[in-house]
Amino acid sequence: MAEEGVKVVGMWASPFVARVEMALRLKGVTYEYLREDLANKSEMLLRYNPVTKKVPVLVHGGKPMAESAVIVEYIDEVWKDGYPIMPADPYERAQARFWARYADEKCNPAIYVVYTSAIGEGQAKLVHEAQECLKTLQKALEGKKFFGGDAVGYLDIVVGWYARWVPIIEELSATSIVTLGGFSTSVTDQELPMIKAWFDRILAIDVVRETLPPRDKLLPLCKPDSDWVNLGGFWSLVAVGWIVSVMACVGSSNAVWVTAMMTWAGVHGVVLDGGWGGRSRVSSLSLTTGEGGTPLDVRAATLVVGAVAHRRRPRLECCPVVAVARAA
C-alpha cells in the first residue's frame, strides 16, 4: 500500500520518471503510480503540471511538483532518515548538481541527436560529440565506484538510465556513441573504461535494475514501422507538398521550391533510408527551409513533419528516446 499522499504520474518508458521512482525506492517510500498517456494527456496531468505538461509529477500531500531532478532533491530532503541521496558536504552537493546539469544540458541532447540522425558523415560527427560529452562526464567517476562514491547517489540517479538506454540507442542508430570504430551495442573498456565499469555496477544494484524498464520491452517500441515509412511516408510528403503549393497560389516560386524539396526528402530520406534516419532528414529540412525563408516555407515544412509524426504518434510517444526530449 502506498504511503499516504504519495503519487507518481508517469509513463513507464520515460527515463526521467525512472529517476523519481528510483529515488523513492532507495528511500523505501511506497507510492501510487498513475500511468499517463503522452499521446492523449489527461486532465489530471494538465491540472498537476499546467506549465510544462510533462511527466514525471510527484504528488505529496496533495501538492504536485514537476522536474525530475528537483523532485529527487525534494525526496531526499523530506525523507531524511532514509537512504542518503545528496552528499552531506555542501561542496560535494554543489558538484553533484553541476554534473547533473551538465548531463541534462550537454550529454542528453548529444545522445538524442545521434539516435535521430541519418547514417553518414554527419552522423559520425554527432557520435564524436556525444563521446566527448561522456568522456567529460567520466571525470566525475575518477577514483570512485559510483558517482556518489561507494554507493549510488544523486548523480547516479540522474544519469543511471544511460546504462539501459545507450546500448539501445546505439543499436537502433546503427552506430556506437561510445566507441570510435565499428558498431557496438554496449560501452567498451577501450574508449570509456570508467563508464563501462559503472554501467555494470549500477545495473547490478537491485533497485536500479528493477526500476529501469527491461531492454526487451524497450527495444521493440523504438523500431520504425518500416512498411508505413517506405510507402505511406513518401506519399504523405508528396501530397502535403502539392496541397501547400495549390494553397499558395500558382506561380509562387517559394511554394514550388518547397514542394520539390519535400518530394526529394520523401524519396531520399524516407524511402531509401526507411526509418528514423528518414524522419531526421525531414526534421532537418524544416530547419533549413525556415532559416531566412518566408512564412510559407516554415508552414510547409511544419506540415510535413506534423503529417509524419501524427501517423506514427503511438510509437513516437512511447519511444524512450523520444521521452528524453519530451519528459522532464
The β-bridge relationship of strands 63-66 and 57-60 is: antiparallel
Residue 23, burial from CB neighbour count under 10 angstroms (0-12, 13-18, 19+): buried
Task: Please confirm whether the linkage preceding 167 is cis (ω < 30° from 0).
Answer: no
Can you tell me the distance from the alpha carbon of 119 to that of 22, in angstroms, rounded to the nearest whole number?
Answer: 35
Say what the alpha-carbon torsion angle 179, 181, 182, 185 is, to the nearest 10 degrees.
-10
What pLDDT, on a 0 to 100 scale, did the predictor assign at position 116? 81
Q: How far apart are the first and last CA of the chain?
A: 27
pLDDT tens digits, 98-109:
999 999 999 999
Q: Decide if pLDDT at 317 tops 80.
A: no
Give me Rg for the CA atoms of the chain.
22
Cell of 245: 503549393
Quick one: average pLDDT of 224-232?
45
Look at 3 and 192; give whichever has higher pLDDT: 192
pLDDT band at residue 226 using 50, 70 and 90 as cut-offs: very low
**Torsion sign (Cα): 23, 202, 153, 66:** negative
Is 2.60.40.10 the CATH classification of the domain at 90-222? no
**Torsion sign (Cα): 16, 20, 26, 28:** negative
Architecture of domain 6-78: 3-Layer(aba) Sandwich (3.40)
* pTM for the full predicted model: 0.70
Q: Report CA-CA distances (Å) from 118 to 72, 178, 243, 252, 284.
A: 35, 18, 27, 31, 10
Quick one: average pLDDT of 204-219?
94
pLDDT band at residue 199 using 50, 70 and 90 as cut-offs: very high
Domain segments of the chain: what residues?
A: 6-78, 90-222, 226-309
Q: Decide if pLDDT at 177 tops 80.
A: no
| Count of all residues that appear for the chain in the document | 328
Distance of CA 107 to the CA centre of its chain: 11
